[in-house]
A = this chain, B = another copy of it.
Amino acid sequence: MTNKDARTPASMQNATSENAVSENAMDETAVDETALIGNANTVRGNAVEGNNAETRKSIGWHKGYIEGVRADLRVPVRQVHLTNGQSVTLYDTSGPYTDPHVETDVRRGLSPLRESWIIARGDTEEYAGRPVRPEDDGIKHTSPRGGLRNLDAVFPGRPRLPRRGRDGKAVTQLAYARQGEITPEMEFVAIRENVSPEVVREEIAAGRAVLPANVNHPEIEPMIIGKRFLVKVNANIGNSAVTSSIEEEVEKMTWATRWGADTVMDLSTGRNIHTTREWVLRNSPVPIGTVPLYQALEKVDGRAEELTWEIYKDTVVEQAEQGVDYMTVHAGVRLPYVPLTANRKTGIVSRGGSIMAAWCLAHHKESFLYENFEELCEILAAYDVTYSLGDGLRPGSIADANDAAQFAELRTLGELNTVAKRFNVQTMIEGPGHVPMHKIKENIDLQQEICDEAPFYTLGPLTTDVAPAYDHITSGIGAAMIAWWGTAMLCYVTPKEHLGLPNRDDVKTGVITYKIAAHAADLAKGHPGAQEWDDALSDARFEFRWEDQFNLALDPDTAREFHDETLPAEPAKTAHFCSMCGPKFCSMKISQSITERFGGGAAEGASADEIAEGMLEKSKEFAASGNRVYLPLAD
């Protein structure tokens, strides 16, 4: 592959077969670096073929890699091969699972890609770590639900010691960025986003972007969250006391990333919470987020008033040692704000928020998370765990949107953001919730102002309350809008929101809906190159290249299936019409002939007279060609 891919935008790179998908792509070298965005002076664009031509042809796409300056820096991409010989490169979150050359085994976990980079920095140390206890998995001697630990469930992969910053040093990407250092992780995301590494460093240093990458989660393919980059999508998984198993959660994680989830939050509660997380982390190519408060509450058997800073801190350390990349911390739910929720339509709908509110009520004390926030910063800095400052008082209904409680908490999150930055902890801010369209912009504008442009990470927002079973859609509307206006990551909502736990299909529907919202926002923000993906698909549509339409679609399987419902036969996939209009009526077909008649560019800048003259000539041509609006089926 030539340098073309290093220059074209990250969201989608469109190249001809000559320079992008040739079999000897590895032998070529990137040369034209001057065209790179920013001041990049490194070579960042060698494509590596992931599988052979035969396989690629049969599946329509293959897993490819773009190499960076170092041999161990290979950025995964999805290379779509079009029937016209061109190819399109798409951002890929699916990890090694979609590379037929990589053998994966969920019992061993993924290869620790980043380990050598972390060790090479020389600022971390391995240590014995906190011993895993039965209660970490919700098992208690005193619990009526007690019993023996299910040893089969323990993750069987390679033994490892946890790692942390030496002498309490902040080993965060923020610290490095502020020191002017471009890490391999930054290099990786620069290729992935097709910007210069310096842009990545600047955005992280300014706190406008985060690169969640715990030193104990070396398996991830680095990604970045910030308004200057592609809008990201998070998918939630997690068992609950009522249903689901470890295997299901690991499967949901790989499934979600296959469809495009950029991060995954493990929101498990109940039994096997530690072990489930271990399996998820060791097998995840994307950053994993958690809400430590859920597990801490399990440790006190669900009694919020028995929570202590010590139990919480111990849980944070436990999870940081496992490799959790970002943690939702509801430190903004302060004692004085709780009464502000009393007159709400739906009170406090955040689980973490309601737990902290109950604790504050029970003790009549300020939140222990708020009071101990600086100590928490020190812990997170030592592992490079990113803060996701939770919006525990987010509105749970249209009626409660943008109210005093919500914005009081937001102002506190702004204050905590400043503290976190002082400790070099990367920080993003969580946002609502349920918000009608006309009140959405105020949320992002206020958050950006109060939180010094720290990345906003919103759940939807849902734009109406009246459509349970369709809240992926009620929220997808709000998500697209708020992302256009600057939200950096969107937390997905599935059709089961408010009703039950998402199954496999729900996870896919949620991710696809949110990828639509994210991409629509990339387009509206004018993200360089975002539109090339749309253009490639629209070209394929106009030219009746059905297979290319399917392969370029966010969900090729469903697009193909829907088409085949009406016109299943193979010839229909190349026929110059489609099932909506039938052969006689196809507007695409009619319009193609117009394009052919006028030729590209003929009409541009022409005067009315010139156009009229051209029209006359073309009308004669039209008549000469048989005057047919449509081409017969045999055509």
Contacts and interface: CB of A to CB of B under 8 A. Distances in A.
Interface stretch (A17-25, A34-42, A420-428, A517-525): A517-525
Interface string A464-491: 1111111011101100110010000000
A517 B437 CA distance: 10
Given A343-B603, A465-B541, A500-B565, 9 more contacts: A241-B585, A302-B630, A304-B590, A349-B591, A363-B619, A436-B524, A463-B516, A468-B537, A500-B579
29 contacts: A240-B580, A241-B583, A269-B582, A305-B627, A335-B615, A339-B606, A342-B598, A348-B590, A355-B587, A357-B591, A357-B594, A358-B629, A396-B538, A396-B588, A397-B535, A436-B520, A436-B531, A437-B524, A438-B484, A464-B519, A465-B538, A466-B519, A466-B537, A469-B562, A477-B477, A477-B520, A496-B565, A500-B563, A500-B578
A463 B526 CA distance: 13
Interface string A483-527: 010000000000110111101000000001101110111011110
A567 B357 CA distance: 28
Interface in A316-345: 335-336, 338-345
Contacts of A588: 346-347, 349, 396
A608 B340 CA distance: 11
Contact of A524 (B351, B434, B438, B606): B438
B582 A465 contact: no
A239 to B, nearest CB: 10
B361 A619 contact: yes
Contacts of A578: 498-500
Contacts of A342: 594-595, 597-603
Interface class of chain A by DSSP: helix
A303 B484 contact: no
Interface in A534-559: 534-535, 537-539, 541-542, 549-550, 552-555, 558-559
Given A243-B579, A566-B500, A590-B358, A465 B302 contact: no
Given A240-B579, A465-B538, A595-B347, A336 B611 contact: yes
